[in-house]
Every structure is written in structure tokens, then in C-alpha cells.
Structure 1
Amino acid sequence: MSSLDITRLDTGSAEFDQKLHQKIAWDDSIDPKVQETVREILDAVRTEGDAAVLRYTASLDRLDAASVSDLQVSRERLDRALDAIGADEREALEHAASRIRAYHEKQRPESWQYEEADGTRLGQRVLPVDRAGLYVPGGKAAYPSSVLMNAIPARVAGVSEVVMVVPAPDGELSDLVLAAAVIAGVDRIYTLGGAQAIAALAYGTETVPAVDKIVGPGNIFVAMAKREVFGIVGIDMVAGPSEILVVGDGTTDPDWIAMDLFSQAEHDEQAQSILVSPDADYLDRVHQSMEKLLPTMERAEIIRRSLEDRGMLIKVASLSEAADVSNRIAPEHLELSVADPDGLLAEIRHAGAIFMGSYTAEVLGDYCAGPNHVLPTGGTARFSSPLGVYDFQKRSSVIYFTGEGASQAGRTASVLARGEGLTAHARSAEYRLRS
């Protein structure tokens, strides 16, 4: 097997900024043909309902049904899935679910209120959305961890109903995914996929109920559909390729770091894996480990393409400069594989999830650490956050004025309203003024 040609950068180079920008840039432009197809599907489901859903499910997933009701997974099928998986798999799902639930229960915000001297009360009421929709990739792909990470926060938030859609091309459906849905507390499951499933959740059909928020990963058609229906419903995010950035000081076994970088590269060719270190010799040793271990990987060609197209080994002058580079990239996953991760954490401002120390592999966060693995990508960690309980809740302001309070505040409102030329606004406040 040929040597691994991975980009090497040095912050001391005059061309560093330009080369870094070129490497982290990701073209998220949508093929116009994909966009046109998605819009056609969305419009068809919006106007035709179940009939369009059945038509696209038959043509795209090769799954025929007399009605959409026939595509709902029965309780008996779910029970069979639980029986079909191995005892170790069920134990792993339940253990992961327990940790994810415990973490997210600590996120749950409370409503609050305070009272002013004149009796005015102000506050905030936190309530869950009524219904959430969860998209899960299906067929040969099986992502039970995605089911847990998306459904459990919704349940903790108090969502009344969680509706899951999962494609079953040629009737193929993962028992592990169905078992995860049962353990996570999903209410209804339909074997629907693609843009037609997103449309059904967003608009509702005669059979599939409309939801308030849609979460979960999918292919380009699913991502595009989520982008198109945003505003009619809420969405979690339109995620780009997976990313990992490791800051290493040379204290972690190079084989461990190589495999951590592989763990993201094996997702797809567009995934990005980056190692940043002040130790040039350590960069060399990790590179050697990657070349040694790559032939042992089942998805070796995908990993190679990802690393050679988008991967980087970056030499920095210090760990502090490594933090600066990381903040510029704002990675989805950040491993601080250093002797003093707490000391370096203080310098980190932008990252989806931060993994502390040599023993904390990113993969633990994917499955069972507890925090959510649905994370901002493409530098959006600069302004967005992991999926959580708060994504399934909304906040209402609560305002109560006494007569005295309304009179005092009304004078302020009147002046500002008249300054804006809004007479009715002003008079509405002035009616309540006390002389």
C-alpha cells in the first residue's frame, strides 16, 4: 500500500493562514438538480398527502404499501426486535440510554418569576413543544446511538409525542434501531425515508401527524428538505461532514491518536481529521502510526481519501497557539490529549464537544458518555451548541402589571411610541395612566 500523503502545515510559515483556510473550507452548495427534486417532493406531499408519500416510498425505497398506516411499525414488530438483539446489545443500549438521560436531566431549565415593589410581576415560562419528529437513516445503515441521542432529550424536555421515521428500502429494517427506539421512548415509527418523510413530518398527512420540530441526520436530500421546511417547523441543524481536531503534547500513545483520527475519517471522504502539536517529532510518529494501522481498517480507502483530501498535521509553537488554531477552526469534536487538559481548557472558546485527557476518546462521546453527539459542524460552534433538552422547549415571557405599575411604565411607553409615530400604541398605554 502506498504511503499516506497528508498535508503538513506550520504556523511559522508565511502561507499558513491561506493554506489553513483552503483546507477547512467546505463547499456546502447544493446541486440545483437536488434542490429541484426536493422541492418537487415537498410540494407533492404538501398537496397530495398520503398518496404522494406512498408513491415516493414505492419508487425510491422499493417498498409497496396499500396505505401509510401499513408503514407504521407495529408493537409486535418492536417486541420482536427487542427479542432479536443480543443480550449484550440490549445491555449496551440500556446503559447508554441511562447515561444520556442522566446528563440531559441536568439541562432542564426551570420557569422563573420575580415581583417588583409596585406588584408588577415579570417572568419566563418554559414549556416543551407538543410533538417532535426524529429522522433516522435506515436500510443497511444502523445508527441506534442516533435514536438515543435525539429521542431522549425530547423525552426529558417533556415532549408529549415523539414520531420517528426510518427508511426501509426493500423492506430492510434494523432490529437494533427499533430496539433503541423502544428504550428511548419513541411513540410512533413509520418506515418512511428521504425528503418525503421530512415533508410528511413538516406538513402532516392524513396519517402522519405534523410535528413542531424535526431532528436527526440524513443524506443530502434529507438535509436539503430540512433546510426547505425550516420556518414551518423547527430543525436541529443542517450538518456538514464530521470533524475531529486533536491537540497533542506527545504524552499520548501515537497509535491511540491515529485511531482517533481514523474514527472520524471513516465516516466519509469529506470528513476532516486534524492533529495539532508543538512537537514535530510527535507529528511524525503519529503519521507513522497512521501508515502502519491504515491497512488494518475495513474502510481503509474512505479513510485514506478523507485524510489526503482534508486531513492536516499542524505544527505550532506552543499549546497556547494550538488553542488559537483550534478556536479558528471551531471543530465539532476537540480532543485535548495533553498532560494538563484543564489548564488548556481555559483557552478554548469554540468547540462542539471537548474531550479531556489521553483516555477520553471521542468515540465515547458518540455512544455512551452522556452529552449529546449531535454537534455543530463547519465552524458553526462559534455560535451554536450541541443538541439538548433546550432544543425541544420554548420560552414564553410572562408580564403582569398592577394599576400603579401600568401607570409608571405607560408614561415611558407613550413617549417612545409617539417618538416612533405610532399613535395607537401611545394611546393604548395612556388610557391606563393615573393622573
Structure 2
Amino acid sequence: MTRARLLLLQRLPIFACAAALLALLLVNIWNFLVSTDWPKLRIRSSEPLWGVAPPKPAPWSVEAFLSGETQKAVSSNVGQLQPVFPLAVRVRNQFLYSALGVSGAPGITIGRERRLFETYYIDEFCARGAAPDPGAVDAWAARLRETQDAVRASGKGFVYLISPSKAAAYRRYLPDTFVCPSLLRGTTDKLAPYRAALAAHGVAYVDGVALLAAAAPDYAIELFPPGGTHWNVLGAAIATRELTRRLNDGETAALPAYDFAWGTRQEPVGADIDLLRLLNLLWWDWRYPSASVVGRSAGVCEKPPQIFAVGGSFLIEVLANLTEASCAARVDYWHYMKGARPGESRRWRRLAAHADDFSRPMGEAVETDEAFRRGLAWGDVVLLEENEAVIGEMGQVPDLLAAAKTQAPAGASQ
């Protein structure tokens, strides 16, 4: 072998590394150029990360540059636009999970027996202390009663739902190393004054917290999945059945009574793994019983029930059940989420006629108050929900009351 050929063979690894680095550089340049106007042309990993927002354009202004905002955005975008970024995140998260038993995903906590929790719900549960201000609770219940009266005056059905928190319902799975002051103080029950106020003001409501606690011993599987943050389809079906019963106790039968048959499946899907997916692991060996539900409606519908729904993410499975029942409903759903500042909430809208419609991304657009009022006018039934963790703190109660006071002419929901 000649000296030149031997030298070439010795340098091949260097050339290969240089070619790989050059290819990665070219891919990054390409992704950076097309990410804003032609995002579908990006070269990316075959399995993108769950729950990671796509890069946003960097602000190009003197003020943004001097404050460092431009540099920070460019640095973040370049990192996320690399095809190896998802793989690198998954490798890191897998090491943290498998070797250290901790979560690499922000906002997710691993509890006993590998139960997953949203950290927010643990923080809220463990911070429970003194009873809320009685005047504020009474004013909240009075607004709900006023909303109920205004909705029913227009011939619609109304029911309010309190949905449960996994941290409160399954406190036995909180992490061993976690200090929970409310448990030590014995101040975990925050709902007693709210229940009393609802009863005093005559609000039609379903207490999903008490409902699931009472129902749990009757079922062979837990009503919150180990890898999810929401009730599973079985827990949601129990709540759905009670909601329609409560509605039919009143003056309307626009939403027929709901019942269901259920079975178990060994492969968790959908909401059963919503937190597990957000861990963004390379692999997981989770196998736990999950539920499947087949809903049915009592009687025959002359037309599909039209539901105007206002609340948080716990309503999704309830509404999906109602769209899949034999008397399939149509839904105008306004999804409220907590904002970054105390007392702030944001909302998105979904129109749904099938359960699959709830799996579509909601996007970033916030619909107008006029669209909210039109949706209310369109609905036959109004479902209003608040989770126990944020009861009385979100925007759906005042928003619905304001819309109910100024009922728009009935019309199609657009």
C-alpha cells in the first residue's frame, strides 16, 4: 500500500466527521430559512416531541437586540430546528427517568408506584389551608345562580360541574420525599364552603369530586390513569351520566339521559397517557388496565342535542362521550386555561360533532365575545365546569354570566 493511500485511510474518520458536521450545518441553515414561511419543508425527526411549542420568529429590532431577546430567541430556535434535537431530549429524559427516577419534563412529577402528576395540582393541593373568604364564595355562588336563571329564562338547560384533581383524589400516590403541608395540617378539604354556597343559592350542580370518590369502590380499575392527569373515560362516563340525570330533573329534556357499558383494555391510549407522552422518553414499559366505554342515550332524539360547553380540559372526555352516544350531540366548546399571572385565564374554541374532533390542535386564536354569545344562543344545553383546584378563580363564570345577560338572537354556531 502506497504512503498516499495509507495517509488517506488514516484521515477517513476526520473526513467523515467533517462531512457529518457540514451536513448538519447545511440542514440547520435550511431549517432556519424555511421555518417561518414554509415550516412543512423543514427536515425533522420522524417522531417530534410532545408538548414542545414550535419555534417562533426572533424579534428583529434595536430594543430586542439590546435587551438580549433576539439572541435568546435565535439560540433557542437554532437548537430546536436541529433534526437531532428530539432524539437528544429523549435520551436525556430517559436517563433521568430510568437512572434517577425523576421527570425530565417541566411540570410533571413522578409519585409512588410511578404515578404521574402535574406538579401544579400537587402544589395547589398541598398549599390548602385557611377557609376561603365567605363573602367571595357567596358572591361566586350568586353569580352562578344568576347565570343559571338567565340561561333557563331563554329556554335552555343548565348544569354546573365541579371536576376532581388527581392530586387530591389519589393523594396516596404523592412522592415519598414530598412534604405536603395540607396533609400535615389536616386542611385538604377546600370544597365544603363552595358546596354549602351552591346549595344555599339553589344552583343545579354535580359534585364530580364526591361522585368519583363514592363510585371508586364499585369499579375494578382506578378512575384516574397512572400516566394521565385527567379522569379516564370511565370516570368521565360516570360524571356524564350524573350530568344528564341532573339536567332531566329540571324543566328540560334537550339532552337525554346517558348511560354506558364499559370494559377493560390493557393498552392505554389517549387521555390515559397524556402525561406519559409529555415525558418524551425513548421507550416506556408501562402496561396498566384502561377502560373502554360505549355510551347510549335514553329515548330517541328528534334532532341532535346542541351543547354549549364552557370549562377546562376535564370537559373533553364528557363531551366526547355525548358526541358518541346513540343520540349524538353537537358541541360548541370553550376551553379555559390558567394564564401566567394570578387570576388570568385564556380560552380557545372547538366545534365538535365527533369524539375525534377533540384531538385536533386548538391553535392560538382567542375567539371574540360576540362569537361566545352566538354560541350560547345556538345551544340547547349549557354545561359549565370548574376544577376543584381553580374553583372560583377562572374566567368562565363571569364570561358566561355576561353573555347570558345579553342573549344574542338564536342562530347557527359559526
TM-score range, shorter chain: under 0.3
TM-score (norm 2): 0.26
Structure with larger RCO (C-alpha < 8 A, sep 6+): 1
